[in-house]
Chain A
Amino acid sequence: MDEQRKVMNLYKRSFGCMTTEIELFLESAEPQPAKEALARIEQFFRSVEARFSRFLPDSELSRLNDARGGQVSVSPELSELMQLALTAAQTSHGIFDPTIIDALEAAGYDRSIDQIREQGTQVRAPSRSIRPGRWRKIHLDAQAHTVTLPADLRLDLGGIGKGWAADRAAAMLQPLGAGLVNAGGDLRAWGDQLDAEPGQGWVVAVDDPFWPGGDLAWMWVKEGALATSTTARRRWLGGHHLVDPRTGRPAETDLVSASVSAPTTVQAEVAAKVVLILGSQDGLAWLAAQPGLEALLVTNDSQIVSTPGIPARLAWIRQGAIAQAEWA
């Protein structure tokens, strides 16, 4: 075992994709296969973006949205992604809703975030056609890979698509050695970080929402996923990208960020978004009914709230927080 660890190296590849930064880590004793595998995963991410971005008119998702009203055959991958999205909508009682694209556009998220940052955007009043629960009208045949969207409904799979890609990439890399896939903060880890004790996993920094680039905490991620949702990023004058389906407007919540650990990146990404929209009280109540999920929340007034399993996963937390906890 010691001999094996001595020759292990960590290979990293990072690139911009899906309007965010993707980082891939893989531990391997063989350089060439590791580098080739990471290159293949980059291509995989680019293909996912090309197929499932709502901002690309030729993507498979855009073609499905254009063909709404009729039955459409889709790829097995899009069928799987839609199945995950509809399950998430059901589990979250509609707080996660892949059909709120009209509300997102009304809130100003009508182009990629890079274009919004360059050109600005306009916030409009949400359309009256935006109603909660419209996702129930989607008909998906997951066996035949066919979808029927109502004529007045389009899909946005941006967030969950990133998580799905991270999970798929992890599954592809896992046979080659321990590793980690980070898709813009939604990450999946397997095996142990080099120099960690066996079974410890990977230590990951959690961003401080009030202090971009600064660490709020370091958390152990063991054979699972961690995702953070925040209103501090992807925001513009008059709005942010986390729309509450109940109102059709950017969520008014007492939380500024929610970091959730879960077995898969899709679960973590969805749960982080749901908890952020629900707020700390309802969010914690919802989490308590979801097995395998733990969350570290930061409120707008700088309080940290967590589920009971979080302290055991913390490798470190910013000392200011500790001092306040000890002396409050």
Chain B
Amino acid sequence: MNKTTGKRPVRRRLSKAALLRVKIAAIGLSVVAFFGGLAGVVIANPATHSANLARSASQPAIIAQQPAIQPPTDFQPQLGGAPLVMPTQPQMPFLRPLTRSRGS
């Protein structure tokens, strides 16, 4: 009850169709927010993003050879204490190693 006018407030009801549209919009927004956030996290991580891009662009055959067990990812290359600059792309992508120095 409104104390100044003494009138009962008018309560507006949404039609069923309008309510359905609101629900659909809410679900849509949730989905977009979820996947958008996920993509943002991936792109915001430059190491993951650049590594993924470089890997997919340059080394598909090597990736296919890799076993399911993932290696440690905390390698920190150094050159006598200074950061090591190495080629990120194979110099000759079509030339594959025929053998390996596997250690003895």
**Complexed CA–CA distance, A326 and B83 (Å):** 8
Structural contact, A320 and B73, CB atoms closer than 8 A: yes
Structural contact, B103 and A229, CB atoms closer than 8 A: yes
Name which residue of chain A comes closest to B69, CB basis.
Answer: A211
Does B71 sit at the interface, judged by CB under 8 A? Answer: yes
B53-101, CB < 8 A from A? 54-55, 58-59, 62, 65-67, 69, 71-80, 83-92, 94-101
Overall SS of chain B's interface: loop
Residues of chain A contacted by B90 (CB below 8 angstroms): 218, 315-316
Residues of chain A contacted by B62 (CB below 8 angstroms): 215
**Complexed CA–CA distance, A208 and B75 (Å):** 11
**Complexed CA–CA distance, A226 and B91 (Å):** 19
Residues of chain B contacted by A5 (CB below 8 angstroms): none
Overall SS of chain A's interface: mixed
A313-328, CB < 8 A from B? 314-328
Given known A-B contacts A20-B104, A228-B103, A195 and B51 have beta carbons under 8 A apart: no
Residues of chain A contacted by B76 (CB below 8 angstroms): 302-304, 324-325, 328
**Complexed CA–CA distance, A182 and B102 (Å):** 10
Given known A-B contacts A303-B75, A320-B75, A323-B51, A159 and B104 have beta carbons under 8 A apart: yes
| 9 A-B pairs whose Cβ atoms sit less than 8 Å apart in the complex | A200-B92, A205-B97, A211-B71, A228-B103, A233-B104, A303-B77, A310-B79, A325-B83, A328-B83
Residues of A within 8 A of B (CB): 10, 12, 20, 23, 25, 159, 162, 180, 182, 184-187, 193, 195-197, 200, 202-215, 218-219, 226-230, 232-234, 257, 259, 284, 301-308, 310-311, 314-328
Q: Return the 6 tightest CB-CB contacts between A and B, nearest first.
A: A230-B103, A211-B71, A205-B100, A323-B51, A205-B97, A228-B103
